[in-house]
Amino acid sequence: MELSMEKPVMIALDFKNQGELKHFLDQFPAHVKLTLKIGMELFYGLGPDIVRDIHEKGHDIFLDLKLNDIPNTVEKAMVQLGRMGVQYTTIHALGGSEMIRAAKRGLTAGAKEAGYQTPKLLAVTELTSISETQLHEEQNVGLSMSEQVLKLAELTSQFGGDGVICSPNEVEYLKAKLPEDFLFVTPGIRPAGAEKGDQKRTMTPAEAAVAGSSAIVVGRPITLAEDPVVAYQTILSDFLSK
Q: Are 61 and 10 in contact (CB under 8 A)?
A: no
Is 45 labeled as ligand-binding?
no
Residue 61 CB-density burial (10 A; 0-12 exposed, 13-18 middle, 19+ buried): buried
Closest CA to 186 of 153, 155, 157: 153
Is 181 labeled as ligand-binding?
no
Is 105 labeled as ligand-binding?
no
User: How far apart (Å, rounded) are the C-alpha atoms in residues 85 and 89?
Assistant: 11
User: How far apart (Å, rounded) are the C-alpha atoms in residues 156 and 95?
Assistant: 10
Is 73 labeled as ligand-binding?
yes
Is 67 labeled as ligand-binding?
yes
User: How far apart (Å, rounded) are the C-alpha atoms in residues 147 and 96?
Assistant: 16
Is 189 labeled as ligand-binding?
no
Give the active site residues. Answer: 64, 66, 69
Is 94 labeled as ligand-binding?
no
Q: Are 123 and 94 in contact (CB under 8 A)?
A: no
Is 37 labeled as ligand-binding?
yes
| Sequence ranges of the binding site | 14, 37, 64-73, 128, 190, 199, 219-220
Instruction: Point out the annotated binding site for substrate.
Output: 14, 37, 64-73, 128, 190, 199, 219-220
